[in-house]
Chain A
Amino acid sequence: MSPLSTPHKPNDRSLLPARTSKSFDSLYRDHVDLMYRFANRLCGETEAAKDLVQETFLNAYRGFKKFRGDAQVSTWLYTIASRACLRMRRRRKGEPDRELSLDEFIPTSDGEFRLQIPVDGLSPEEALQNKELRQALDDAINKLPKKYRMVLVLRDMEGLSAKEVGTVMGLNERAVKSRLHRARLFVRRELSARGMTETAGAQDRLSLE
């Protein structure tokens, strides 16, 4: 028996049974790539994404006994990661978090209505072979206030349903759809404004020649 006089805390993680560790291994193996992809999309940089993945699985390890299997494992992990991301980002400075109003996306001229994304009739896969477009899309998503970015990433990039996004973020479906619409309008404006700038730049160059 242990000669230690101090009593063991019941939640001492070093005493977790080997079974938990084995279950954790399979949880980690099956979901680490999914969580890394999600974390990259949320954080926009690989080091922060790795931190977030570690934080997520650490919290998952600790909360393992509480997971009752009501939700899918992936939904549970998305929820843990989203909460961890909110905490991590709160610690960082300069992260703008504001409400997006629909009014700011309403075009005020025919030209604004008709702005297009510069994809030149290519399929999305082909268009995204262009490094500048990939970067512009990443930049646009990173510029979104975090609560809008999370909804866009979960719904349009991770492919969750609006109901699942609601479960992960603790929102009703109506709120999810409202945020999603604003987030898409934001990204559309960022990407098409870039197209406009490029076109204007090209025209400027032409007029100088």
Chain B
Amino acid sequence: MFKKIIDFIYDYYLSIITIFLVIISISILFQNNHKTVNNIRLWWSDTFFPIQASITNTKNLKSAMKENHFLRQKLVRLNIKVSQYKNLEKENERYRKILNYKQKSQFELIPTVILAKGPHKNINTILINKGSLNKIEKNDIVVDPDGLVGKIISVNNKTSLVQLVTDMNFFISVKILPADAKGILHYYGGNQFVIEDIPNSISIKSGDLVVTSGFSDIYPSMITLGTITNVKESPNGFTYILKGNLSVDFYKISEALILKKL
């Protein structure tokens, strides 16, 4: 009997090892949200932070020259606009004082570099080079000049994980301008989002802007998410299904800003 077992193991040792490894893999797969699993991931990113950061910086340096030239041009144009806005701001402040309007919460912008993205096209998390040592907290939001990037879901000493708008579990309350229609946006695929259940009595067209509604405690209002590209009536005949393009290019993004409540 014992010899039979030994013979069996000898004949099928590859299959036995494969089954054993498959069982381990499946059990890890079912423990995905376990704290230890996430902690190991964060420990790794913090430990190898200097290597990852230097590699990322080298890569970013190449594109920085190109970007610098473009930004200089943009800066000149923006400076003209700023002077116009400064006048408007002073005027606005004066009116606010007259109306005794309380200033809403302000934000501090912390620049950050993206250290790593997921290996596949539908990336849902990125690793950034700021952590609790930079006073980053869970639920701080991440933006870039084009719009909302995501929110911080876990913080380590020197690095943090950001859940992107392109995560399939990411839902956010938005409004569509200029109609001011409110809805819930979620990622669709590629660079597209979808907003459902918007009453078709509201006039919405292609090119309308989608911004955060400000209903949530996490996201302040008026942060750009994208523009509507397709307005379609839903089968029930009462609502629209809106599709649009995200304004942030998630494939090219290499730097971002953390919007921190003061």
Partners in one complex: no
Query: Could you list which residues of chain A lie within 8 angstroms of chain B, going by C-beta atoms?
Result: none
